[in-house]
Chain A
């Protein structure tokens, strides 16, 4: 039988194109080279987990699936009849998306969702057809008898007869009128509670919209039994002792549950209206068809330079952690404590939200790792703390990569990696997909963007979530700052790859103007390496055609542990297109060599160790009188020779010198991170209980985020060829 659905056939490519727009996550999975391993969660041919499917459903696709589920297959005429204001072309478009993505199929005139998907579809209220498994044939027979219909002798026959009645408004009203007085009123009350969002019972297996029967009666604080009496009046049959049900003195609630107008819990404490009944009585719609919001894109400034500064800030954050390694309370912690980022943000002068994003990226990328510390305590109260430290091998590798690669790695980490299917990761990818669908160089007002995003993907309709995600993206430089929401050039290039990002963010200018008021005016296309170094000494004040920085005393003071005054002055003198003002030179010098409230005491000796854990172990020998001041540094009131002797007696032999090249690397590390480098070994021992990248494995290349138009076209071609 010929279908009347306009699926665009034979334009398969068009179908696929629209499907991939609607289901970007499916498209990403198809494009990824990794082979899909089926499992219980991933039931679809594309290997898309159900969570991803439901989050990424567009408003219209979700509505069509609901209709198909409700009607157990729906014709185009029915859909049009139920949504008379909707353009039929929109209905066809939603159908095309679902068919091309294999989430639904057309069988003759009926549009059906996949049977396995049908099982897990979650309508707004329980559907009688889908609840039949939990209703015995006897109950169905009783209901048929009360309705006065002949349902036959099979369960299917009885169910079919009842399903017809429950969707027939005339029969329903007649039935209600013929029962005990007050039945219609009780039904009205149940529907009112259930549809007003009140419907919730704390019962396992209670479906959506279920309410407690106790909510149907008023309680009298002076008479605790009044509620029970009122409830007994509603359902006298159910209130009798077990085994004595005689269907006499039937109450309104008995009528409603026995006729199956309401579903009920096996203990009778919860009831709910069927979607079939609600629709028949005109109380709800099966699935209101969402109207596409009208939004006019506006031009935006796509030239954010935040990518380069973000990467510089990440390195600075790692440096900060080197100076102040945070401790995790137990080895199962996947991240350093949150306060670490708050403290770091304050110390290096960045936003706390950005510090959190960068902190996560530092862990995901592998720039910091968790090392096991000695166990504290004994028995059940024993703690297995970890210490989060920079991984010098990975930091070196990271610093050698391009800004584009590193920024993409940060963005990839924020998204959660291409393979992740946790909810926040899915929402982030969907949000980027919506952003990517806006015309290049344009954006939408925040409110319009929210409406468009929610229409495209029902999973990103929460305003708080979207606000937080946008805030992160602005901080990272993927979304333009200001009121208009749109991708920056770098954000758009993230779908193509690191080289494309480098082409966008990689400025070539290396000179700037240093003014006597300590401000530095740099061109917008300042080379990332220069910008990164500038960031170490100055706060960014404003961005636009140029970037305005202000030399900051705190940054210069921090930098003094890694560079000396002459190097900083030389940097500014080299890059300044005007002579470096004397006052600026003085300011740099003052800031980097400022007096600090240091107290000095005499100690017997200072013991340092490349491996802080070994030193912490050694400090357990009280005879050595070691006090650990910082990871890898301890003092003792004993002279050095005595400490060596005491420790040797305990089997801890202090080692001698190291190879010159190793010493040099240690010195570099110490200057940058304020403490000695870990042992120069190719193997770094990480904490066993922390889920983190293997610190000994080289950095992985970041995934691109989303698909470019070309990539999507290639995918469409490939699939279309396969289909033909």
Chain B
């Protein structure tokens, strides 16, 4: 296999439904955009990208209007070798499943109904124990009544059965948010993303997930979606800092005024036409209420979903959506929903729930593509390996396995490497990120930089972030509180002193902190300092592979 020879059949379709795409092919761009419509990009290293066709990706494609014939013709047209009949049969089978069951608004009863034109199919699913519990009376041979509150749970159950239902029951429009407009201009891909989600306001759209890399302006897409829907909106975010950031952006890039924006967090409980809430406050559990109690009894703040006549719920970082919010979301399926994320990978593997409850993936743009267009800063990743001293080595050797990670991650040897890196990036905006607070405090003390951790009061955090953004301070030490949704666009260097056990999600998010495009178009540098020949090196290997799979150049440097 030689990627240097130009060929216009760059696809290799494997029997396990993975698809290899050669980057060097002249037809690469054409094939990539065709393939991206029905297959998930799994990894995109330098020469050959790997896509995977899954039931979810095929159902997403079916939602987008593709037929199995379209998929088969793309595969066969660009495939270098004949496509195995079993692959085409699987595509045909899975795509044929979507939409044969429909959730509709029943005109006779004005309630919801599950229907199908195939009596045998509806009979089959109605006999499933899970589904049977969620179906009401049989309206006729092909229709079952469905309780409004069971709309989401039923969709989940049907998806688990392998028969995803097409939700055509429409939405409650919600209270109107008159006169809201965007005051900032959208980039072309952002406008495309909003259009793909909105679908001209029809019942076929209005839900789903937009997957864009960090720095691609997901917040702006959220604002534009809200402006398009022009209705009362609940925005659910990961942290208070992120909530403040959304608020800033709402004020800066839309015509909304301060009195129209509310915050529902641990600090404030203010409900307005546009309200920003945190996952944490929504999932707060009342003491003494057993786990198996009603979800609204155990998590009373989830009542927020019913507190206003919301017309849209925006879920930021949807891949982190906690289980109680999923369950609450299952009950508000009549409200338009928008999920924003950089990655659809959920470490808990619940991608199917995102599909059922938030909606199918409506749009995605790979990091490298946006990087090539200049919307995301190019990044280089470097693993800096430091050696433990003999004394540290011995402590490490005799430590209990659960202690080893901490000993390796917080080794003082890393400080020497940090000094060298800071010297190399003098004048740059540097984020120093870590997992262990005592290590971060030592670092902050050593280099005389401010530190932001979970204990830092919100006002102080906001002030420090603002100072960093304005250039007043050029180095900031942050704990994992800054992993998500903190917009520090001028940061161009990230030094990761310690991290979780090789979490891919964390790696993507931390890299995302420095990928906001730079004013000078410069490159971002992402360093991970690891202790050689320790468990850290093993964890770093997972991250290294993840970043290489995403197409980032990765180097390993030893510090002696």
Is B2 among interface residues, defined by CB-CB distance under 8 A?
yes
Not counting A512-B1, A583-B554, a sample of 15 additional A-B residue pairs whose C-beta atoms are within 8 angstroms of each other reads A482-B84, A482-B86, A484-B86, A513-B3, A513-B48, A515-B45, A542-B18, A543-B15, A545-B14, A548-B14, A548-B50, A577-B4, A578-B3, A583-B548, A587-B541
Which of chain A's residues have a CB closer than 8 A to the CB of B86? 300-301, 482-484
Is B81 among interface residues, defined by CB-CB distance under 8 A?
yes
From the candidates A515, A577, A583, name the one contacting B555 in the complex (CB within 8 A).
A583
Is A446 among interface residues, defined by CB-CB distance under 8 A?
no
From the candidates B1, B45, B544, name the one contacting A522 in the complex (CB within 8 A).
B1
Residue of B nearest to A544 (CB): B14
> How far does the Cβ of A504 sit from chain B's closest Cβ, in whole Å?
15
Q: What count of chain B residues pass the 8 Å CB interface test?
A: 35
Question: Could you say which of A301, A516, A542, A582 has the most chain B C-beta atoms within 10 Å of its C-beta?
Answer: A516
Residue of A nearest to B48 (CB): A521
- Distance A590 CA – B383 CA, assembled complex (angstroms): 14
B1-44 contacts to A, CB under 8 A, are 1-4, 12-16, 18, 20, 43
Name B's A-contacting residues (CB within 8 A): 1-4, 12-16, 18, 20, 43, 45-48, 50, 79-82, 84-86, 533, 537, 541, 544-545, 548-549, 553-556
Interface residues on A, range: 35 or more
Which of chain B's residues have a CB closer than 8 A to the CB of A581? 46, 548
Q: List 25 A-B contacts (CB under 8 A).
A: A299-B85, A300-B85, A300-B86, A301-B84, A301-B85, A482-B84, A513-B1, A513-B48, A515-B548, A516-B554, A517-B43, A519-B43, A521-B48, A542-B14, A542-B15, A542-B16, A543-B14, A544-B12, A577-B2, A577-B4, A578-B47, A582-B556, A583-B544, A583-B548, A583-B556
- Contacts A515-B48, A516-B46; A577 near B1 (Cβ below 8 A): yes
Which of chain A's residues have a CB closer than 8 A to the CB of B16? 542-544
- Contacts A523-B1, A546-B1, A577-B3; A515 near B47 (Cβ below 8 A): yes
> How far does the Cβ of B22 sit from chain A's closest Cβ, in whole Å?
9
Give per-residue flags for A314-332: 1 if the beta carbon is below 8 A from chain B beta carbons, else 0. Answer: 0000000000000000000
| B81→A595 contact, CB < 8 A | no
Give per-residue flags for A552-595: 1 if the beta carbon is below 8 A from chain B beta carbons, else 0. Answer: 01000000000000000000000001100111001100100011
> How far does the Cβ of B383 sit from chain A's closest Cβ, in whole Å?
8
Is A359 among interface residues, defined by CB-CB distance under 8 A?
no
Residue of B nearest to A518 (CB): B545
- Distance A483 CA – B3 CA, assembled complex (angstroms): 32
- Distance A299 CA – B43 CA, assembled complex (angstroms): 31
Is A361 among interface residues, defined by CB-CB distance under 8 A?
no
| B1→A481 contact, CB < 8 A | no
- Distance A509 CA – B86 CA, assembled complex (angstroms): 26
Is A298 among interface residues, defined by CB-CB distance under 8 A?
yes
From the candidates B15, B46, B537, B544, name the one contacting A544 in the complex (CB within 8 A).
B15
Which of chain B's residues have a CB closer than 8 A to the CB of A553? 541
10 nearest interchain CB pairs? A545-B81, A544-B14, A517-B548, A516-B548, A515-B45, A545-B12, A301-B84, A546-B12, A517-B549, A577-B2
- Distance A322 CA – B242 CA, assembled complex (angstroms): 60
> How far does the Cβ of B56 sit from chain A's closest Cβ, in whole Å?
19
Which of chain B's residues have a CB closer than 8 A to the CB of A298? 85
| A521→B20 contact, CB < 8 A | yes
> How far does the Cβ of B369 sit from chain A's closest Cβ, in whole Å?
18
Question: Could you say which of A512, A524, A544, A582 has the most chain B C-beta atoms within 10 Å of its C-beta?
Answer: A544
Is A511 among interface residues, defined by CB-CB distance under 8 A?
yes
Residue of A nearest to B52 (CB): A542
- Distance A483 CA – B549 CA, assembled complex (angstroms): 30
Residue of A nearest to B15 (CB): A544
Residue of B nearest to A553 (CB): B541
Residue of B nearest to A299 (CB): B85
> How far does the Cβ of A121 sit from chain B's closest Cβ, in whole Å?
43
| B46→A509 contact, CB < 8 A | no
Which of chain A's residues have a CB closer than 8 A to the CB of B553? 516
- Contacts A511-B2, A583-B556; A548 near B43 (Cβ below 8 A): no
| A586→B556 contact, CB < 8 A | yes
- Distance A71 CA – B407 CA, assembled complex (angstroms): 88
Question: Could you say which of A581, A587, A594 has the most chain B C-beta atoms within 10 Å of its C-beta?
Answer: A581
- Distance A553 CA – B549 CA, assembled complex (angstroms): 17
Which of chain B's residues have a CB closer than 8 A to the CB of A523? 1
From the candidates A513, A545, A590, name the one contacting B537 in the complex (CB within 8 A).
A590
Which of chain A's residues have a CB closer than 8 A to the CB of B82? 301, 545
> How far does the Cβ of B345 sit from chain A's closest Cβ, in whole Å?
15
| B15→A521 contact, CB < 8 A | no
From the candidates B18, B81, B85, name the one contacting A548 in the complex (CB within 8 A).
B18
> How far does the Cβ of B14 sit from chain A's closest Cβ, in whole Å?
3
